[in-house]
Each structure stands twice: as C-alpha cells, then as structure tokens.
Amino acid sequence: MAGYADDLALAHTLADAADAIAMARFRSLDLKVEAKPDLTPVSDADTAVEKSIRATLARARPRDSVLGEEFGRSEAAAGPGTRHWVIDPIDGTKNYVRGVPIWATLIALMEGDTPVVGLVSAPALGRRWWAARGLGAFAGRHQHAATRIEVSRVRRLADASFCYASLNGWQDNGRLPQMLDILLGVWRSRAYGDFYGYMLLAEGALDAMAEPELSLWDMAALIPIITEAGGKVTDLDGRTCADHSSVVATNGLLHESVLTALTPRG
C-alpha cells in the first residue's frame, strides 16, 4: 500500500502542474485548436499538459510506461514492466475550447490490466477527486482539504438519478430504445457527460451512469475512484477489465438492474 500512496502523491504533483498549464490557456483568445483524424478537437493546452506529465514521469518513474491520448504509448526507459500510467490531458476538450468549465486532467496508474491509482483534477471547478487501491476515495480542492466520499444507497432504478453523455452513441450501437426506457423510468436523468457524471456518482450525488463507447484514457482514472467509493464498474456485458469500449458505472446496488435494462432485445 505504501507504494500506491507514493504514486498517488506523485499524481497530485502531476496534476498541480497540469492545472497551472491548462488554466493559463483556458478562455485564451489565442488558444490554438485543431481537428484530429477522428474529427475531435485538440488544443495546444492538451498537448502541453501531456508533455509536462510525460516529462515528470520520465524522471520520477523511469520503469513505468505511459499511454496518453495525444501522443500514444511510450515504453519505459528502463525496459518493459507491468506498471503503466494512463493520461487524458484534458477530458472534455469540447467544453474547454468553448469556455465551459467542466473539463479535467485524468491521471491513472495501472498494474497490468487493473487501474490501482486514479486522480481527476478539474481546476476550473476548484475540485479534485482521487483514490488508490485500499486507501479509499476522496474529494476536495486539494489533498490537504479533502473529505472521504461514498456512493449512494439507492436500491431501485425507479428511485435513481441516472447520468449519460449523449444519445447518439446509443443509437449507433442499437440500444437507443433501452436507454430511452431507462431515462423515462428513473426518478431523474441528466447528461452531465465526460468525467463529471462519474465523479458525482462516486460522491453519491447520482446513482448510475453508462456510455456505449470510450477509450482507456477516458476511464482508467475513474475506476479506482468509483470502486474505492463503494461503486461498481463494468462494460455492457458485465466484464470488469478496464480496457473495453463501453462502461456501466453504478453504486453497486443498481448494477444488475442497469445491465438488464440495457440488454439488447431479442
């Protein structure tokens, strides 16, 4: 556990530098934005943040490899190992480039296929969330002003607050009718999107969230925070490996109900 505590402390240091870079460019009139091959935007802040994190990791963790959204995978200078960091320099770039403050830097450490440390820093919201395996989940302005967080105890889907990112992906994978049934049947539904809904889930402010398509860097940092807060994370087929393209995250009590509700109709 001591090793993960040290890694979590390093993640905070990485996030401090990332916050300073991203906030300096947020709402800047000269922010440079380009379209990637998949037509999603990337700003000069995205690339600057990832370069900063990679440079620090190269010095502080030379035996760990790094996977980042903007620059792909780089192997450890000391040779292959089981530990690798997964970075999303700005999750919510579309918000970032439009001046919407709901964006964050996501930093995860994985042992093999398992995320063991996760940190989400949203400086424009003045909030940060973090966890390490066996050490609990916390949220606050920074690591010295934090409270432990836990998921909700809602047991019925009809009583739940349900979050989603958008409906387009559900239409593309053929489960839009199932998703609409959920949204119409729960107590409340909102599309907070990106990292934010998952962090509200970990805090107990909502009860479930699902997305049909995402990448490892979108989710790796979120999994330790949700699970250490008492929640559960799988893909749409109920598998717990982080490297899948879909996600269902709940307070645990609602998990089977959500998976069943999203099952394709025969």
The secondary structure of 89-111 as a DSSP string is EEETHHHHHHT-S--EEEEEEEE
* Number of other residues whose CB lies within 10 A of the CB of residue 15: 26
Annotated binding site: 69, 88, 90-91, 218
Residues 64, 238: Cα–Cα separation, whole Å? 29
Residues 195, 187: Cα–Cα separation, whole Å? 22
Residues 246, 150: Cα–Cα separation, whole Å? 23
Q: Using an 8 Å Cβ cutoff, are 177 and 221 in contact? A: no
Phi, psi (degrees; rounded to nearest 5) at 82: -95, -15
Identify each DSSP E strand in the chain by its residue range: 33-35, 41-43, 65-68, 72-74, 83-91, 104-111, 114-122, 127-132, 136-142, 145-148, 161-164, 188-190, 208-211, 232-234, 247-250
Residues sharing a CB contact under 8 Å with residue 140, sequence separation 6 or more, in sequence order: 127, 128, 146, 147
Residue recorded with tokens 């916050």: 19
Annotated binding site for Mg(2+): 69, 88, 90-91, 218
